[in-house]
Structure 1
Amino acid sequence: MAPGLRAGVVLISPDGSRLRYASRLHFSASNNATEYEALINGLRIAIELGTTRLYVRGDSELVVDQVMKESSCKSPLMVTHCQEVHKLEDKFHGIELHHIPRRDNDTANFLAKLTARQDLSPSRVFINDIHEPSTHILEGPTRTHPNV
């Protein structure tokens, strides 16, 4: 796990116009956690833009399978990430998530590599610096309110 991980998100409207987002993660994360961060970040951006229907293509087969409930989450962190994705899914009228091979995800891969460069980003590419994970695992026993 290394800080400075990168992720790319491309949002394509029905008319074919594209919004490109490149994210730099400034915290330690596994490759799978980075894939979840990209998915969660992309869903949040789509929500902010008022998107109601979404077709998602991701190149992490594990993340796609876990979100689509074809594979179980083994670690508490993956469970937490998956739960966050499901909460965000409820904000859409329709959402589909499909796996694509990494070799077919050229634009997102280019965006992820772009953030490693220190020069200015190309026009129409938004760079996000993410300093904290989108989800946190609660440690220790769950605390309840004394009046509950």
Structure 2
Amino acid sequence: MEQEYWMMYFDGSLKKTGGGAGLVFISPLGMRLRYMVCLHFPASNNVAEYEALGNGLHIAIELGIRRLDIRGDSQLVIDQVMKESSYHDPKMTPYCHAVRQLKDKFDGLKLNHVKRRFNEAADELAKAASGWRPVPAGVFVSNMHKPSVCYEELGEAGNEPPVPDLEADPSDPEVMEIDADPAEGADPLPDWRAPYVDYLIHESLPTDKMEARRVACRAKSFIIIDQELYKRSHTGNLQRCIPSEEGRSPLQDIHAEACGHHAAPRTLVGNAFRQGFY
């Protein structure tokens, strides 16, 4: 029996406070999954749209979805992906290339333009992500601190755009740079978990207003179990949060020891996520 199509609505938003992406998945049985992605880097409205589409495809792959009916209200993005429109902004080239690369991951993929009034659910999530609003109940939230593609050096006109690393976990593409051999006597790194633990247990926030809003927004995806901090991934799995110092050990195991892996940093960290660490 042929597998039925899931539906995915996507939208991007850009405000003075930042960029954001919203995603709504609807299963053939009517189950809904909602996602917000906060963009913490300079972005245009079209970049936000592409980040929404790209993150949505990665999430669909992680969920094991094989047939997907994608709907968005950005005519430009859809036309570019469908090869019906040219690129006036060179930054769009690697984004479009990355989206097309994921097509083979599906047995069936549709991409359709819809009017904005039919995309309100994804639009509201995107606006919430870009405006640092409280995360609605039942919504998965993630943060991006750098673009999912590399468009800093596109080369000469007509050259192929750089191929992005597409294997990192879409739940949080931020990469933490880790010095594998830190200098002796260096100050220990602060525990990044502390603000979230303080907020979840004591409802205490940092004194800096922007940092307080960031912690309060991100804390929605964390939970305390037996005095341990865990993060809910976009697939609903719990990842045990570990300090930066402790994180070196699993990264080194994945990279150099039994697994012998020579992957890019984002892929390496993505593999650690899939082992249940964050």
Matched with 2:69 is: 55
CA offset at residue 74 of structure 1?
Answer: 2.5
Cα distance in 2 for residues equivalent to 1:28 and 1:138: 13
Secondary structure in 2 aligned to 1:111? Answer: helix
Cα distance in 2 for residues equivalent to 1:117 and 1:132: 17
Choose which of 22, 46, 60 in structure 2 pairs with 1:32: 46
Matched with 2:224 is: none
Matched with 1:106 is: 120
Cα distance in 1 for residues equivalent to 2:142 and 2:62: 14
CA RMSD of aligned residues (A): 1.9
Mapping of 1:22-101 within 5 angstroms?
A: 22-101=36-115
Quick one: structure 1 residues 3 and 89, their matched pair in 2 at CA, closer, same or farther if it must change by over 3 Å?
farther
Cα distance in 2 for residues equivalent to 1:118 and 1:3: 10
Choose which of 13, 18, 28 in structure 2 pairs with 1:14: 28
CA offset at residue 22 of structure 1?
Answer: 0.9
CA offset at residue 37 of structure 1?
Answer: 0.5
Secondary structure in 2 aligned to 1:55? Answer: strand
Matched with 2:183 is: none
**Given that residues 3 and 25 in structure 1 are in contact (C-alpha distance below 8 angstroms), is that contact kept between their aligned partners in structure 2?**
no
Cα distance in 2 for residues equivalent to 1:89 and 1:123: 31
- Over the matched positions of the two proteins, sequence identity in percent amounts to 53
User: Which structure would you say has the larger RCO, counting Cα contacts within 8 Å and 6 or more residues apart?
Assistant: 1
CA offset at residue 62 of structure 1?
Answer: 0.1
Q: Where does the alignment leave 5 or more consecutive residues of structure 2 unmatched?
A: 1-13, 160-278
Matched with 2:150 is: 136
**Given that residues 24 and 33 in structure 2 are in contact (C-alpha distance below 8 angstroms), is that contact kept between their aligned partners in structure 1?**
yes
Q: Where does the alignment leave 5 or more consecutive residues of structure 1 unmatched?
A: 143-148
Cα distance in 2 for residues equivalent to 1:73 and 1:35: 15
Cα distance in 1 for residues equivalent to 2:98 and 2:32: 25
Cα distance in 2 for residues equivalent to 1:106 and 1:118: 16
Matched with 1:145 is: none
Please tell me the residue identity of whatever aligns with 2:38: R
Rg larger in structure: 2
Normalising by the residue count of structure 2, what TM-score does the alignment of the two structures yield? 0.48
Per-residue deviation, residues 80-128 of structure 1 (Å, max 9, x unmatched): 1000000111111110000011222110011112232453x22221111
